[in-house]
Amino acid sequence: MLHRMGVRPGMMYAAGVASIGLSIASWISSLTMEKAGMDRADRWGIFIGEWAPTFFAMGLALRIEETHGGVEARETETPETTYTEGRMPSRAGV
């Protein structure tokens, strides 16, 4: 669905890297601007830093979607055509 909406893997990878940077920035800003101490700064940094793995996983899923095609491509796939193209047949529909 995301792929059909125009979201590309590179966008998700960039969001993951941005999440890491934003996590560090929020930790530093919370530590220096708020008087709540190290605990609150750690919570902000960890909260935003937890988004990165999700973005990277979504990027990998989109990359797989681009590489192997959608469900429609797997349904019409036959071993004869995939082996001649140098690919292994998909067993996802089995």
Residue type, 81: T
**DSSP per residue over 18-81, as a string?**
HHHHHHHHHHHHHHHH-SS-HHHHHHHHHHHHTHHHHHHHHHHHHHHHHHH--HHHHHT--HHH
20 band by pLDDT with thresholds 50, 70 and 90: very high
Q: What pLDDT, on a 0 to 100 scale, did the predictor assign at position 13?
A: 94
Q: What is the pLDDT of residue 39?
A: 80
**Tokens 């429609």 map to which residue?**
72
Q: Is pLDDT above 70 for 74?
A: no
Whole-Å CA distances, 59 to 3, 4, 6, 48, 75: 10, 14, 13, 18, 24
